[in-house]
Amino acid sequence: MTGIVLGSGLGQLADEIEVEKIIEYSDIDPSLKSTVEGHKGRFVIGTLDGVRIVAMQGRIHYYEGYSMKQVITPIEYMIKELGVDKLILTNAAGGINESFAPGDLMIIKDHITSFVPSPLIGVDLTPQTGNRFHDMTYTYDRELSELIRIEAEALGRKLKEGVYLQTTGPCYETPAEIRAYRSLGADAVGMSTTVEAAFAHAMGVRVCGVSCITNLAAGMSAEKLSHEEVQITADKTGVFFRKLMRNVICGLKALDIKE
Ligand code: HPA
């Protein structure tokens, strides 16, 4: 089954699912309750255009005060309990690459997760994966990423591609941090996703990701950053984004990936 994590402003895709079942995160772990406005905290399980899917409407963030173990609890549940073997991660992000503009979508081709603790610390997946040390060379599945690119082009839009860097948040970055992250090779920055990708990839799940570039990163424009701006741009991009994700999910069938 395919899982999709819906980031800021993108949660409405879950409303298009023909619902079989809804599970609140707090039902699987009473300590999990999303504290961010605009983020629900539940799994929506059902079908979208005939394809079985589970959507995470809202995610658990490290900056909310949760441990990394709690952050990946819903991801772990999707993989172990719901049988998710393909995972689409989405988020809102600040654009670091100078060729990016608010409203762009970026296929995540790689990530930098070095500024946040690994969700795998203290978790020995050897019984499941046969290995304690996980290769991350191809964290983002090339076939799934290519499918996203092709479906976007079919809708008349060329997507950006780049490296996503996760910070702990909840502060946005300083301009000096953004310059440093750019020199490290980051194209976009946000407060989620890499730990989910790392965990799922280590578990053998095929992972892909898309960032909605909601703003230029700190210091790249005269404007200060605000959650409101992030949400307004994510909402505006939402219509195209939902269409794209629907087509990608449908396209999984044609890719001969077994459901
Ligand atoms: N920085 C960090 N997280 C974000 C940003 C940003 O500029 N925009 C959206 N999420």
User: Would you tell me how many other CB atoms lie within 10 Å of the CB of residue 87?
Assistant: 27
Pairing of strands 51-57, 42-48: antiparallel
Residue 192 falls in which region: left (phi positive, over 0), alpha (psi -120 to 50) or beta: beta
Q: What is the pLDDT of residue 8?
A: 78
CB contact set of 255 (below 8 Å; sequence gap of 6+):
143, 147
Q: What are the mean pLDDT values of the chain's consecutive 10-residue runs (259 residues total)?
A: 89 92 94 69 94 94 95 97 97 97 97 97 86 93 97 97 98 98 98 98 97 96 89 89 94 69
Q: Is the peptide bond before 102 cis (omega within 30 degrees of 0)?
A: no
> Which among 55, 106, 186, 191 is annotated as catalytic?
191
Question: How far apart are alpha carbons 219 and 165 in whole angstroms?
Answer: 17
Nearest one of 26, 30, 85, 9 to 54, comparing CA atoms: 85
Distance (angstroms) between ligand 1 centre and the Cα of 44 equals 26
Does the beta carbon of 92 lie inside 6 Å of ligand 1?
Answer: yes
Q: What is the pLDDT of residue 131?
A: 84
Using N-to-C axis directions, what is the helix angle for 73-80 and 194-202, rounded to 10°? 30
Does the beta carbon of 213 lie inside 6 Å of ligand 1?
Answer: no
Nearest one of 179, 181, 193, 200 to 136, comparing CA atoms: 200
Distance (angstroms) between ligand 1 centre and the Cα of 244 equals 22
Q: What is the pLDDT of residue 223?
A: 87
Nearest one of 9, 76, 61 to 211, comparing CA atoms: 9
Phi, psi of 16 (to 5 degrees): -90, -5
Question: How far apart are alpha carbons 194 and 199 in whole angstroms?
Answer: 9
Does the beta carbon of 212 lie inside 6 Å of ligand 1?
Answer: no
Question: How far apart are alpha carbons 148 and 254 in whole angstroms?
Answer: 13
> Which among 14, 64, 91, 217 is annotated as catalytic?
64
Q: What's the whole-model pTM score? A: 0.95
Does the beta carbon of 53 lie inside 6 Å of ligand 1?
Answer: no
> Which among 61, 77, 196, 203 is annotated as catalytic?
61
Pairing of strands 86-95, 2-6: parallel
Distance (angstroms) between ligand 1 centre and the Cα of 238 equals 17
Pairing of strands 105-112, 206-216: antiparallel
**Token duo for residue 43:** 């799994």
**Token duo for residue 73:** 């609890």
**Token duo for residue 69:** 């173990």
Q: Calculate ∠ Cα 170-92-223, nearest 5°.
A: 70
Q: What is the pLDDT of residue 235?
A: 87
Residue nearest atom 10 of ligand 1, based on CA coordinates:
93
- Tell me whether residue 64 is one of the annotated catalytic residues: yes
Question: How far apart are alpha carbons 111 and 100 in whole angstroms?
Answer: 17
End-to-end CA distance of the chain: 6
Element spanning 239, H or E: helix 227-254
| 218 Cα nearest atom in ligand 1 | 7
| CA-based radius of gyration for the chain | 17
Does the beta carbon of 191 lie inside 6 Å of ligand 1?
Answer: yes
> Which among 1, 63, 67, 118 is annotated as catalytic?
63
